[in-house]
Amino acid sequence: MKIVNSKEQKLSISEIVAIGAYNLPPEEEAVYSPSMALKAFIIESRLPSVRIVQIGNSVFISHVGKGENSRKMVGKAINVDTARNYIRNMHKYTSYLQKIGITHYTTSFSGSKLIGSFKSLIKRLSKTDTEIAVAQIGNEEKYIVYIRFGKDSIEAN
């Protein structure tokens, strides 16, 4: 995976998505070609429920619920930033979600390499009433993350 430190060079959303499309996780690479991944992003970006936010060299793609679920989101990230910056970017993104009134956020990922990043995020938010849980799905290396936002500010700098 190509990594670009956002403190040295900030990429555009298009560049991040393109790098991500050509560096898919193995389970997605078996299903999608890079051109299919790019087309899927374009289609997804046009959906009325989607919210796309860039922080550093990370792009967060989330969908907001409808009706009684309008303050809940499900999302994913495409990251080409350094690990340290990605943790900071996730913190800034959770702060953003709290500011716009999101109460619950769920994401999932494959492989164990992001476990450390989420543990760092949990540590950063440990003095707030926001709750984060990371759970393994079955016996595979698939994980789901649940965030329930509290009232304490999780302002990120």
State the chain's mean pLDDT as an integer.
93
Phi and psi dihedrals of 2, rounded to 5?
A: -75, 130
pLDDT in tens, 34-91: 999 999 999 999 999 999 999 999 999 999 999 999 999 999 999 999 999 999 999 9
Q: What distance in Å separates the CA atoms of residue 144 and residue 56, rounded to the nearest whole number?
A: 23
Structure tokens that stand for 37 in this block: 């991944």
pLDDT at 54: 98
pTM to 2 decimal places: 0.93
Q: How long a stretch of residues is the chain? A: 157
pLDDT of residue 26: 73
Band of pLDDT at residue 1, cut at 50, 70 and 90: confident
pLDDT of residue 111 exceeding 90: no
Give the C-alpha separation, 130 to 125, whole Å: 7
Spatial CA neighbour of 74 closest among 103, 113, 34: 103
Task: Give pLDDT tens digits for 140-153.
Answer: 889 999 999 999 99
Residue position matching structure tokens 């430190």: 5
CATH hierarchy code of domain 13-148? 3.40.630.30
Q: What are phi and psi of 62, to 5 degrees?
A: -135, 160
